Structure formats: C-alpha cells, structure tokens
C-alpha cells in the first residue's frame, strides 16, 4: 500500500465514522505535498509544481479527486502527503455536511409556509396610517355657514324583479343616474368632499362656485359598475359610507375591499357606516363602541388613512354616539335629514339631500335649493 492509499484510507475512515477527533501526527516521514483546505477550496502544493483543485463543496470525494490530481501531475504515487494538522480542521468541519442536507429540508418547509401566508395578507391590508390633521381654525370659523348640498344615494343599479317599495325608494337606476350627472355638470356643479367642506368652515378653503358632495350609503356593489366610472367621466368623485362587517363577510351585495381600494386610489373618500348597520341610538355603550371603533379601524387598516366622517345607520343617533365619535377622532357626521347649509356648530348632524329614484331629473334643481328661497 503506497502513501497515497494510506492517506485516502484515513480520510475515508474518518468520514465514514463521522469522527471529529484530530489526527494526532503526520502519517509520512517526508511530506512533499501540503494540502491546504479551506471552507471553499482545496489547494494542493507540490514541490516545484502547483496544482489547484477546483473549488467545491467540502466533502471527501472532492478531496480524493484533488489528491489524485496531484498524483497525476507529479507522476509520483508516493509523494502526495498532506500534513495531518492541516487536514484535521477540514475534517472536523467537513464531516457534518451530510447531516446538513436533511436538516435544511425540514426547516425550510415549515418556516416558509406559515410565514408566507400570514405576512402576505397583513402587508397588503395594513398600510401605514397617515392621520389627517385637524386644521387650525381661523377667527371666522365659528361664524361660518356655507351652502353645500350633500347628495345622498344608496343603490345605483338596475332594480331586481321582486323589488319592494323600500328598495324602489333607495334605488336610482343607472340610466337615470347618468342623466343626473350630465344635468348637474351642465348646471355648473363641481364635486368636493366632506373634507373640503370642513376645511372651508375651519379656515376658509376656497370652494368651487357651485360645490356639491356626492355620498353613497351602505357601499353596494353596483356602485363600482354603475356609478364609479360614470362619475369619473364627468370629473366627479364621491364619498362611500361602508358597512365594513358585511364587506368582511364577502356579502355579494356589497363592494369588495379591492373595489373600494380602487375607488380610494381614484380620489374617492371611504368612510364608515358601522360594522353591521344596526341602529346606534338608545343602545349600550359597548355596542356603539364596537360598531363605531370597529368600522373605523377596519377601514383604517384597508386604506391607510384614519376616516373622519361617519354616516349614522338609518339616520339614527343620540348624544352618546356623537360623544363617542368625537372621542375617537371623528370630525363630523351626516344624517338623513334634509338640509343644505352647514356649520361647525352642528358638524355631527350635517343634513343631506336624498335623491329619489323617481321623478324627472330636473327635479334635482328643487332639491338643490335652486327654486327655493331661504
């Protein structure tokens, strides 16, 4: 048995046994070759001749190849002798490699699966929340009153065949709705938001000559197809008061969160209308808190902005609800009562103009106060 064979036998023996013990002494008397080993390469130096084995993973097969290469180059089968002290650290670190393979597989699988699923959803659903700051009132704020009609819509979609009187009363059919938009635009109305209205009252922000606010209660899905694109075509945008719990449940009558986000990105305002559309007046505090705070935080999580305006379900409210809205940071709320003028004294009971599904489009002039003297 020549020296090379002895060397390989020792290496292989150590590899198989998995022994990490150091080799205590050199094997051959006259080492002419030093095999130096690092974590990524094996380099064999031969007297007057340098041979470098290709960098490789550290395992015993590659080492064997390197040594064979040295042998081939030198043509001297007895000349290849690494020093044991160089080999020892390599063997210690190299031998665990076979066990690394099985440990990688099980750890990758469980960590990837659970972390991907939950992190993808929150990353999309919990954007950074940027609070809209309450503007500093100027000296005239407390005395300002402005006429800005706040239109109130519910359904904008075709009537179902079995529609009852309630549904008929809450529905503006798409063709009528488009005629209303054209009419309003031709009459010079330009849409603003509840924020614009509030900023005007607080510090005199300039409004268009004929400002108008479009609001849509309940967030029915038909809005996405029958109102949203047509409003955009006229340069109008609106405010949708969402029933967040019904959206969370995926109820098919209501906008999806994806639709709502698209409308938000297009400049529409999304504000809460409670979680499940229950009456909030004369109810326990805990119910009010759940319905108001729950819908506010849900919206906040989806759109990255703290909502500031609320629409009372069925128009019902009391002082407890107003106090709670104020406490958690709302700036105002709208009712279902009729009215055109707004101020900062009654910002939690701003009135609106209900747009009926029946009647001629030109009737809107009357609702907007054009034919009414105040």
State the residues that interact with Zn ion by CB under 5 A.
217-218
Q: Closer to Zn ion at the Cβ: 217 or 347?
A: 217
Shortest Å distance, C-beta 329 to Zn ion: 22
Torsion of CA 361, 362, 365, 371, to 10 degrees: -150
Q: Closer CB to Zn ion, residue 29 or residue 164?
A: 164
Backbone dihedral region for residue 235 (phi beyond 0: left; psi -120 to 50: alpha; all else: beta): left
Which of residues 218 and 347 has its CB atom nearest to Zn ion in the complex? Answer: 218
Q: How far apart are CA 248 and CA 88, in angstroms?
A: 63
Nearer to Zn ion, 216 or 268 (CB): 216
The neighbour count for residue 134, using CB atoms within 10 Å, is: 11
Q: How far is the CB of 315 from Zn ion (least distance, A)?
A: 8
Cα separation values, 332 from 25, 186, 215, 244, 350, Å: 86, 30, 14, 19, 8
| Cα gap 355→172, rounded to integer Å | 8
Cα angle: 50, vertex 53, 55; to 5 degrees: 130
H helices present in 75-153, as ranges: 84-94, 97-125
Nearer of residues 190 and 277 to Zn ion, judged by Cβ = 277
Strands 211-218 and 190-191: parallel
Q: Which is nearer to Zn ion, 217 or 271 (CB)?
A: 217
Compare residues 148 and 243 and give the one whose CB is closer to Zn ion: 243
Compute the least distance from the CB of residue 311 to Zn ion, in Å. 7
Per-residue exposure over 198-223, b if at least 16 CB sit within 10 Å of its own CB, e if not: bbbbbeeeebeeebbbbbbbbbbbbb
Q: Which residue is nearest to Zn ion (CB)?
A: 217
Q: Which CB sits closer to Zn ion, 217 or 264?
A: 217
Query: Shortest distance, CB of residue 260 to Zn ion, whole angstroms?
Result: 16
| Run of H or E including 36 | strand 33-37
Phi first, then psi, for residue 149 (nearest 5°) are -60, 130
Q: In whole angstroms, how close is the CB of 307 to Zn ion at the nearest point?
A: 16
Q: Which residues contact 231 (CB under 8 A, 6 or more apart)?
A: 181, 191, 214, 237, 238
Contact 319, 144 (CB under 8 A): no
Shortest spacing between CB 290 and Zn ion, in angstroms = 17
Instruction: Find the shortest distance in angstroms from Cβ 172 to Zn ion.
Output: 15
Query: Shortest gap between Cβ of 241 and Zn ion (angstroms)?
Result: 7
- Closest by CA to 84, choosing from 16, 17, 10, 12, is 10
């Amino acid at each position: 048995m020549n020296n090379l064979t002895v060397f390989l036998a020792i290496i292989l023996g150590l590899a198989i046994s998995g022994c990490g013990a150091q080799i205590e002494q050199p094997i051959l008397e006259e080492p002419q070759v030093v095999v130096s080993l690092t974590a990524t390469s094996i380099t064999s130096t031969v007297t007057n001749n340098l041979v470098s084995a290709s960098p490789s993973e550290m395992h015993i097969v590659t080492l064997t190849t390197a040594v064979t290469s040295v042998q081939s180059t030198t043509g001297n089968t007895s000349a290849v002798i690494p020093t044991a002290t160089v080999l020892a650290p390599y063997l210690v670190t190299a031998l665990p490699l076979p066990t690394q393979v099985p440990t990688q597989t099980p750890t990758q699988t469980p960590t990837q699966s659970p972390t991907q699923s939950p992190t993808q959803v929150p990353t999309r659903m919990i954007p950074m929340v940027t609070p809209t700051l309450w503007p500093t009132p100027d000296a005239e704020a407390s005395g300002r009153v402005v006429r800005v009609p706040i239109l109130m819509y519910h359904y904008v979609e075709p009537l179902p065949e079995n529609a009852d009187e309630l549904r008929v009363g809450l529905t503006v059919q798409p063709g009528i709705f488009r005629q209303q938009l054209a009419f309003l635009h031709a009459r010079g109305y330009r849409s603003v938001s509840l924020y614009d209205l509030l900023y005007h009252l607080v510090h005199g922000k300039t409004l268009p000559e004929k400002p108008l606010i479009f609001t849509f209660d309940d967030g029915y899905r038909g809005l996405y197809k029958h109102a949203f694109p047509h409003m955009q075509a006229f340069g109008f945008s609106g405010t949708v008061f969402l029933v967040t719990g019904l959206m969370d449940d995926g109820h098919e009558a209501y906008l999806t969160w994806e639709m709502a986000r698209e409308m938000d990105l297009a400049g529409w305002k999304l504000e809460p209308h409670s979680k499940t559309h229950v009456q909030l007046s004369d109810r326990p505090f805990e119910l009010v808190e759940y319905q108001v705070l729950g819908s506010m935080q849900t919206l906040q999580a989806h759109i990255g902005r703290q909502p500031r305006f609320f629409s009372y379900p069925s128009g019902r409210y009391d002082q407890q609800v107003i106090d709670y809205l104020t406490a958690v940071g709302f700036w105002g709320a709208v009712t279902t009562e009729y009215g055109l003028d707004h101020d900062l004294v009654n910002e939690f009971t701003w009135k609106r103009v209900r747009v009926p599904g029946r009647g001629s489009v030109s009737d809107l002039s009357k609702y907007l106060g054009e034919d009414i003297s105040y």
